[in-house]
């Protein structure tokens, strides 16, 4: 059985309540506000938080800017000298403008053709001639860039196969050289394309001019193939006929 305890009533003093005994304090003890305890050291309370000083005057001025250091005059001269020793950009890309100009001048005279200049095959000059040919055709109102590039590639393959079949195992004509020779021999076709802008089409004049330029290109291409490739003299007429077929197609493209 639970035991009962008697709890006395609690009476809170108020302003109007009299006769309620108050708790007495010791004399001289005055109520003071609560002050939290201070740490013994003067450092920051949390060591993980870095201490930041706001005393601007005490910190030394710091700057990340450093004075530029200039190279001596001898270093500048050596750098300029190294640039002067380097090759031009076109020669580094394999484009020899002087060689292209010499090859072009040799083609302009079909009776004094210098075949030794064309021993070093390149495609820079043929590409310029093909682009000029397409540009003159574009001025005539014909967009033939794709047709010209396709026909030049097909003509190179055709002459490469024909020449190596005629020469047999002794032929040394490669496709790269064949494409270079056909491209340089396109220069008369480029001139014919430019002249066709000023000559009326459909008459005997344009056909006569076209025949002369076809013979010019045929002679140049045949002479280069025979001189630069082995076993070409025996089949000179057959090689000339194949070249004539190629440049006749380009002439017909200009006329019609």
Question: Model confidence over 164-210: pLDDT tens digits?
Answer: 888 777 777 889 999 999 999 999 999 999 999 999 888 899 999 99
Question: What is the reported pLDDT for 220?
Answer: 94
For 153, the token pair is 């590639």
DSSP string, 8-24: PPP----TT--SPPPPP
DSSP 8-state assignment for residue 16: T
* Stretch (H or E) spanning 175: helix 175-184
Question: What is the reported pLDDT for 135?
Answer: 96
Question: What is the reported pLDDT for 249?
Answer: 95
Question: What is the reported pLDDT for 210?
Answer: 96
Strands (E), the chain: none
For residues 214 and 211, give the distance between their C-alpha atoms in angstroms, rounded to a whole number. 5
**What is the separation, in whole angstroms, between the first and last Cα of the chain?**
131
Secondary structure (3-state) at 106: helix
For 102, the token pair is 């010499």
For residues 95 and 103, give the distance between their C-alpha atoms in angstroms, rounded to a whole number. 13
Q: Which residues of the chain have pLDDT under 50?
A: 20, 51, 75-80
- Backbone angle region of 252, left / alpha / beta, with phi > 0 → left and psi within -120 to 50 → alpha: alpha
CB 158 within 8 A of CB 246: yes
For residues 107 and 190, give the distance between their C-alpha atoms in angstroms, rounded to a whole number. 12
Dmax (CA) for the chain in angstroms is 151
CB 147 within 8 A of CB 121: no
For residues 98 and 214, give the distance between their C-alpha atoms in angstroms, rounded to a whole number. 27
Question: What is the reported pLDDT for 53?
Answer: 52
pTM of the model: 0.65
Question: What is the reported pLDDT for 227?
Answer: 87
């Amino acid at each position: 059985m639970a035991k009962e305890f008697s709890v006395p009533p609690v009476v809170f003093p108020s302003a109007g309540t009299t006769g309620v005994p108050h708790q007495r304090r010791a004399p001289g003890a005055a109520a003071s506000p609560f002050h939290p305890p201070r740490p013994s050291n003067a450092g920051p309370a949390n060591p993980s938080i870095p201490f930041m000083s706001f005393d601007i005057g005490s910190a030394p001025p710091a700057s990340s800017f450093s004075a530029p250091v200039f190279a001596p005059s001898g270093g500048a001269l050596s750098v300029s000298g190294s640039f002067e020793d380097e090759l031009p950009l076109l020669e580094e890309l394999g484009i020899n403008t002087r060689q292209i100009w010499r090859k072009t001048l040799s083609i302009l005279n079909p009776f004094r053709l210098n075949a030794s200049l064309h021993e070093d095959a390149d495609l820079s000059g043929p590409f310029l001639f093909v682009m000029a040919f397409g540009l003159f055709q574009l001025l005539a109102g014909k967009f033939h860039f794709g047709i010209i590039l396709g026909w030049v590639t097909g003509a190179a393959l055709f002459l490469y196969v024909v020449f190596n079949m005629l020469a047999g195992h002794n032929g040394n004509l490669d496709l790269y050289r064949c494409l270079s020779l056909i491209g340089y021999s396109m220069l008369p076709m480029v001139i014919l394309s430019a002249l066709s802008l000023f000559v009326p089409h459909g008459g005997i004049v344009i056909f006569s001019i076209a025949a002369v330029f076809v013979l010019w290109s045929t002679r140049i291409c045949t002479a280069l193939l025979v001189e630069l490739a082995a076993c070409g003299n025996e089949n000179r007429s057959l090689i000339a006929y194949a070249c004539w077929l190629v440049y006749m197609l380009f002439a017909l493209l200009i006329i019609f």
